[in-house]
């Protein structure tokens, strides 16, 4: 798996983005603007919209259209240098099963997903090594469809939304972190980070992407399910002392689990909550999904953490209670299927 053997080293990279929503659309637009050969694997009417209009990105109050190639067929797009997956976790199994025509011997696959990814425990030498998270990859089809040697992990710290199909509005945040699932430094991770930096992101290669994933999970696994239950943005939740103490307790559980998994996070819950408080009025992804009637990522963000805790013998009673209530709320809204 040597990225330098592909056209990547020579300049323009052949990139396919799977899922042209808020994050995928932003990535596709910026990378196309940087001169790369960007394709989008889309579905339904969106394919025709992208073919006709490209991706329209609004950032800083300015709208720009970026032409991309669009298709609903992975075979039509063919083998890529890089495939970036930005679909929601519930759709990942079906996507993984269809990706084979885009993955060649040297193709890099970047899952830019929320929660704990399917590959988190697949490397040798990590606690729970070889554990398949059934909440994320119930039948092993994702692991089979996207072989681990192709994968580079990613953490995205960006706020964007879609105002209409093919139209993306970038609100804030510009950070993307990449890293090998093995935790080893690599030239290909450095090159991917450099490519994203050239496209206007604050992009870095991390020596420990598992730690970066857990650091993001620390907020997501707390704020997201509670916002689903309360239908409240973060500023209103944090204005409630009782909810703030709930978040402190949930974060302590996640930090304890991280220590059992060999992931060292040097942050106090109060500090992490303070960082979110500074952001002001933020609607979490689950609150946005509830309002839009879209499937929520409860399994990958919260359920997978509980599954890992069970495997590691760590008690997480607050996470478990909040998860059960959030699942029931999502079921009643028709946006969750186990």
As annotated, the active-site residues are: 216
> How many whole angstroms separate alpha carbon 91 and alpha carbon 77?
20
Contact 183, 121 (CB under 8 A): no
**Range 285-290 contact pairs with CB under 8 angstroms and sequence separation of 24 or more:** 285/114, 285/220, 285/224, 286/224, 286/225, 286/227, 286/228, 286/326, 287/224, 287/227, 287/228, 287/231, 287/232, 287/233, 288/161, 289/335, 290/228, 290/231, 290/330, 290/333, 290/335
Q: Which two tokens stand for residue 227?
A: 């916002």
> How many whole angstroms separate alpha carbon 220 and alpha carbon 114?
8
HSE of 275 in the Cβ direction (CA atoms, 13 Å)? 12
Q: Which residues pair with 156 in a beta bridge?
A: 176
Q: What angle do CA 117, 120, 122 make, to 5 degrees?
A: 125
> How many whole angstroms separate alpha carbon 159 and alpha carbon 281?
12
Contact 148, 122 (CB under 8 A): yes
């Amino acid at each position: 798996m040597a990225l330098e053997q592909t056209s990547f080293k020579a300049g323009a990279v052949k990139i396919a983005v799977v899922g042209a929503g808020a994050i995928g659309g932003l990535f596709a637009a910026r990378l196309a603007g940087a001169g790369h050969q960007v394709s989008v694997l889309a579905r339904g009417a969106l394919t025709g919209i992208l073919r006709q209009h490209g991706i329209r990105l609004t950032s800083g109050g300015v709208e720009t259209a970026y032409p991309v190639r669009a298709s609903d067929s992975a075979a039509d797009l063919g083998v890529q240098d890089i495939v970036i997956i930005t679909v929601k976790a519930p759709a990942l199994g079906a996507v993984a099963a269809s990706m084979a025509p885009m993955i060649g011997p040297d193709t890099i696959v970047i899952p830019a997903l929320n929660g704990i990814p399917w590959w988190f425990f697949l490397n040798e030498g990590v606690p729970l090594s070889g554990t398949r998270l059934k909440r994320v990859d119930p039948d092993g089809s994702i692991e089979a469809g996207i072989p681990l040697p192709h994968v580079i992990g990613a953490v995205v710290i960006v706020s964007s939304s879609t105002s209409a199909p093919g139209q993306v509005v970038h609100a804030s945040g510009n950070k993307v972190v990449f890293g090998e699932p093995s935790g080893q430094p690599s030239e290909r991770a450095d090159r991917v980070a450099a490519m994203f930096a050239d496209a206007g992101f604050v992009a870095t290669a991390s020596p420990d992407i598992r730690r970066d994933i857990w650091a993001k999970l620390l907020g997501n696994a707390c704020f997201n399910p509670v916002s689903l239950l309360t239908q409240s943005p973060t500023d209103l939740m944090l204005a409630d002392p009782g909810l703030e103490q709930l978040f402190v307790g949930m974060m302590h559980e996640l930090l304890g689990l991280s220590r059992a998994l060999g992931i060292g996070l040097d942050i106090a819950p109060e500090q992490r909550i303070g960082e979110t408080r500074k952001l002001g009025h933020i609607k979490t992804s689950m609150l946005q999904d509830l309002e839009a009637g879209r499937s929520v990522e409860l399994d990958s963000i919260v359920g997978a953490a509980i599954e890992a805790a069970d495997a590691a013998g760590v008690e997480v009673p607050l996470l478990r209670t909040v998860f059960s209530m959030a699942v029931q709320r999502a079921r009643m809204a028709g946006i969750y299927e186990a």
